[in-house]
Amino acid sequence: MNLLWLQSAGCGGCTMSLLCAEDPNVLDLLDSAGIRLLWHPALSQETGAEVRALLERIEAGEVALDILCVEGAVLRGPNGTGRFQMLAGTGRSNLDWVQSLAEKAGHVVAVGSCAAFGGVSSAGDNLTDAVGLQYEGKHAGGVLSSDFRGRSGLPVVNVAGCPTHPGWVTETLLMLAAGTLGPEGLDALSRPLFFTETLAHHACPKNEFYEYKASAMKLSQQGCLMEHLGCVGTQAAADCNIRTWNGEGSCTRAGYPCINCTAPEFEEPRHAFTETPKFAGIPVGLPTDMPKAWFMALASLSKAATPPRISANATADRILVPPRPKAPKS
């Protein structure tokens, strides 16, 4: 299968993350799966006229395009022309190239939340009119229409994340190459279910503190980050704490709240990322599927039953009181 990777408006962080794929590395993995990387702007040797010729041959149907990966949001400005971002030497906007090549592709993959939904590139006033491939924030329809389908019949596959996990990208590509990713394998936002059918909350190392609602007051502390410090891991569809980064890391493992970066419009929470908005002292963003009355009852009982060890450790920057085995019965 032939894969073409275009980088649009973004920071390039998803490519940086992809290069962290190990055992095997991403190039060996693609090769072993029979995926030929036609061109990637940061990884390929070809430049200038060679790339222009390749794009023209793909557009003319002389080179088959099985997978088109786009990283970064696509700029529609000014006034829908896309000329804020031109593909050098072609005289055409990146918007024009993406729309044209998508029509030739068997599969179209949005790599990262910018390509999927607009992401950070669309934050604020969005003067460049940055948008996702098939979504504009939460709304269907981006630079490609909401009813767009690749030759395979799939919509744009949104491998969201900021940046996206290398395993999410490689597993998606392997599944597409093997023909095992169908519509039933995508969620309502066209994200692969293999990483969105769990929550970032699952396997979080702070779960014991969460269970007792023993909360940290500052980022440097050990306790749960939900009550005061903005963590929305209980609402975030991702397997970050199960499929850890580089074998050991995640946001919450590093002591930073989950900001739900796989979701559309995560970049505009309307409050600081490390702040939990509350109404009458109750967090506004409750865990997925948790009715407010249940949460209040559970929180009250949990706080009342919190062991002293957990209370002491929650507001400390290190474990002060380790767990001790029960004394043997006499």
CATH code, 167? 3.40.50.700
* 325 assigned to some structural domain: no
- Judge if 191 and 202 occupy the same domain: no
Per-residue pLDDT band for 295 (boundaries 50, 70, 90) equals confident
Average pLDDT in the 243-270 region?
94
How far apart (Å, rounded) are the C-alpha atoms in residues 73 and 69?
A: 12
* DSSP structure string for 133-199: SSEETTEE-SSS-TT---TTS---EEE--TTPPHHHHHHHHHHHHHT---GGGB-TTS-BHHHHSSB
- Judge if 169 and 131 occupy the same domain: yes
DSSP 8-state code for residue 73: B
Residue 20 annotated as part of some ligand binding site:
no
Question: Which of 195, 211, 241 is at the close of a domain?
Answer: 195
Which pLDDT does position 105 carry in this prediction? 98
- Judge if 153 and 28 occupy the same domain: yes
Residue 204 annotated as part of some ligand binding site:
yes
* 323 assigned to some structural domain: no
Q: Tell me the two tokens of residue 116.
A: 């999927």
Q: What percentage of the chain exceeds 90 in pLDDT?
A: 86
Residue 251 annotated as part of some ligand binding site:
no
Average pLDDT in the 12-31 region?
92
Looking at the predicted structure, is the pLDDT value of residue 48 above 90?
yes
* 163 assigned to some structural domain: yes
Containing domain of residue 75, as a range?
2-195
Average pLDDT in the 264-273 region?
95
Average pLDDT in the 64-68 region?
98
- Judge if 88 and 138 occupy the same domain: yes
Looking at the predicted structure, is the pLDDT value of residue 144 above 90?
yes
φ, ψ (nearest 5 deg) of residue 245: -85, 135
Residue 201 annotated as part of some ligand binding site:
yes
Distances (CA, A) of 167 to 14, 72, 216, 226, 239: 11, 18, 31, 27, 11
Which pLDDT does position 156 carry in this prediction? 98
| Element at 66 (helix H, strand E) | strand 65-71
> Going by C-beta distance under 8 Å and a sequence separation of 6 or more, which residues neighbour residue 161?
14, 112, 113, 168, 238, 261, 262
Looking at the predicted structure, is the pLDDT value of residue 191 above 90?
yes
Residue 114: CB atoms within 10 A of its CB come to 33
- Judge if 152 and 234 occupy the same domain: no
Which pLDDT does position 287 carry in this prediction? 81
Which pLDDT does position 135 carry in this prediction? 98
Which pLDDT does position 227 carry in this prediction? 92
Question: Which of 195, 214, 248 is at the close of a domain?
Answer: 195
Residue 240 annotated as part of some ligand binding site:
yes
Per-residue pLDDT band for 22 (boundaries 50, 70, 90) equals confident
- Judge if 181 and 212 occupy the same domain: no
Average pLDDT in the 83-98 region?
96
Looking at the predicted structure, is the pLDDT value of residue 330 above 80?
no
* 251 assigned to some structural domain: yes
Residue 69 annotated as part of some ligand binding site:
no
How many domains, in total, are found in the chain? 2
Average pLDDT in the 265-290 region?
86
Q: Which of 88-92, 119-123, 191-195, 243-247 has the lowest mean pLDDT?
A: 243-247
Looking at the predicted structure, is the pLDDT value of residue 301 above 90?
no
Per-residue pLDDT band for 293 (boundaries 50, 70, 90) equals confident
Which pLDDT does position 257 carry in this prediction? 97
Residue 114 annotated as part of some ligand binding site:
yes
Closest listed residue to residue 135, CA positions, set 188, 172, 86 = 188
Which pLDDT does position 327 carry in this prediction? 80
Q: Residue for token digits 């179209």?
A: 108
Which pLDDT does position 131 carry in this prediction? 98
- Judge if 38 and 60 occupy the same domain: yes
- Judge if 59 and 183 occupy the same domain: yes
* 209 assigned to some structural domain: yes
* 213 assigned to some structural domain: yes
* 250 assigned to some structural domain: yes
Which pLDDT does position 7 carry in this prediction? 96
Average pLDDT in the 259-267 region?
97
Per-residue pLDDT band for 104 (boundaries 50, 70, 90) equals very high
Residue 271 annotated as part of some ligand binding site:
no
- Judge if 184 and 111 occupy the same domain: yes
- Judge if 112 and 187 occupy the same domain: yes
* 38 assigned to some structural domain: yes
Distances (CA, A) of 140 to 9, 131, 147, 275: 20, 11, 9, 29
Sheet of 36-39, strands arranged across:
36-39, 2-7, 65-71, 105-111, 157-159
Q: What percentage of the chain exceeds 70 in pLDDT?
A: 100
How far apart (Å, rounded) are the C-alpha atoms in residues 94 and 117?
A: 17
Question: Which of 195, 226, 254 is at the close of a domain?
Answer: 195
- Judge if 109 and 161 occupy the same domain: yes
Which CATH number is 229's domain given?
4.10.480.10
Residue 228 annotated as part of some ligand binding site:
no
Q: Which of 35-39, 67-71, 248-252, 264-268 has the lowest mean pLDDT?
A: 248-252
- Judge if 207 and 188 occupy the same domain: no
